[in-house]
């Protein structure tokens, strides 16, 4: 299943899909197009909210490493860099939307998937299954400046340090304790609660909300929009 949008009254749901939902040129373009559509709706109908989730075992397993380190990509590193820069741009767009946004983390959120969850205003996770994990240290990969900035802006220093330096897999209760997630729910209640939360925050939707996010995350958004990708 491809990323797709659906609507529940004034709440738009972006379902990333039912696979590992990794970031590669195809998925980045599709998610970017979906977020562009959300932004267009928000520009004409301010009182909407966004819930991003997945279907199945994964919320997102991060960057597609088979693509990133595959033979074709190795022969065209410029194309890889452009795709990753576009991904960071999509994250910046989500982080600055002038509407309330909620990530309903239905399963594993690893590496880039973990950071993508954090660019939403609020994060809800499953209580029983699924881990949030920044595992670049195990992959022997550096974080792009924008990725580092997301973690620093959204998480307390002890949680950020543990996440980055140990690749700890945070389950739902640990994510609450570390201020990664705002709420945890069972699988049946997760998406409905995320929609309910987004709906309750509809009065905040306005250009002013976008401005407040721009100010709150000014440094992070600047780094994401710059799109620097280390080593490429």
Q: Is the pLDDT of residue 70 over 90?
A: no
**4-226: which CATH topology?**
2-enoyl-CoA Hydratase; Chain A, domain 1 (3.90.226)
Contact 223, 146 (CB under 8 A): yes
Whole-angstrom Cα distance, residue 223 to residue 116? 15
Percent of the chain with pLDDT over 70: 97
What per-residue confidence (pLDDT) applies to 68?
87
Cβ atoms within 10 Å of 200's Cβ, excluding its own: 11
Other CB atoms within 10 A of residue 77 CB: 13
Segment 22-42 mean pLDDT:
96
- Using pLDDT thresholds of 50, 70 and 90, give the confidence band for residue 231: low
Contact assessment for residue 60 and residue 15, using Cβ atoms and an 8 Å cutoff? no
Query: Is pLDDT at 226 greater than 70 in this prediction?
Result: yes
- Does residue 75 surpass a pLDDT of 70? no
Pairing of strands 108-110, 132-133: parallel
* Structural contact between residues 178 and 159, judged by C-beta atoms closer than 8 angstroms: yes
pLDDT at 71 over 80: no
Cα 138 to Cα 135, 163, 166, 168: the distances in Å are 6, 11, 8, 10
pLDDT in tens, 153-203: 999 999 999 999 999 999 999 999 999 999 999 999 999 999 999 999 999
126: which strand partners? 185
Q: Which residues contact 188 (CB under 8 A, 6 or more apart)?
A: none
Confidence of residue 76 (pLDDT cuts 50, 70, 90): confident
Grade residue 220 by pLDDT with cuts at 50, 70 and 90. Answer: very high
- Within 10 Å of residue 186's Cβ, how many Cβ atoms? 12
Q: Domain map of the chain by residue range?
A: 4-226
Residue 32 pLDDT grade (very low, low, confident, very high; cuts 50, 70, 90): very high
Strands 101-105, 122-126: pairing kind? parallel
pLDDT, position 77 = 84
pLDDT for 165 equals 98
**At residue 230, does pLDDT exceed 80?**
no
Confidence of residue 228 (pLDDT cuts 50, 70, 90): confident
| pTM over cut 0.85 | yes
Write out pLDDT tens, residues 91-103.
999 999 999 999 9
- At residue 151, the pLDDT reads 98
Q: What is the mean pLDDT of residues 92-115?
A: 98
Q: What is the mean pLDDT of residues 79-93?
A: 95
């Amino acid at each position: 299943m491809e990323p797709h949008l659906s609507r529940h009254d004034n709440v738009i749901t972006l379902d990333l899909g039912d696979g590992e939902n990794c970031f590669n040129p195809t998925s980045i373009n599709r998610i970017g197009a979906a977020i562009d559509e959300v932004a267009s709706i928000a520009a004409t109908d301010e009182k909407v909210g966004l819930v991003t989730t997945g279907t199945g075992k994964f919320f997102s397993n991060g960057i597609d490493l088979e693509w990133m380190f595959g033979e074709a990509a190795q022969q065209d590193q410029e194309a890889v860099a452009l795709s990753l820069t576009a991904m960071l741009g999509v994250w910046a767009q989500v982080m600055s939307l002038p509407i309330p946004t909620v990530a309903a983390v239905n399963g594993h959120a690893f590496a880039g998937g973990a950071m993508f969850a954090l660019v939403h205003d609020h994060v809800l996770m499953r209580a029983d299954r699924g881990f949030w994990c920044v595992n670049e240290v195990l992959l022997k990969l550096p974080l792009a400046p924008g990725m580092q900035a997301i973690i620093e802006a959204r998480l307390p220093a002890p949680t950020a340090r543990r996440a980055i330096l140990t690749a700890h897999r945070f389950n739902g209760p640990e994510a609450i304790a570390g201020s990664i997630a705002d709420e945890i729910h069972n699988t049946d209640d997760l998406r409905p609660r995320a929609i309910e939360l987004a709906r309750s925050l509809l009065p905040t939707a306005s250009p002013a909300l976008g401005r407040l996010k721009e100010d709150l995350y000014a440094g992070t958004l600047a780094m994401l929009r710059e799109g620097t990708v280390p080593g490429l």
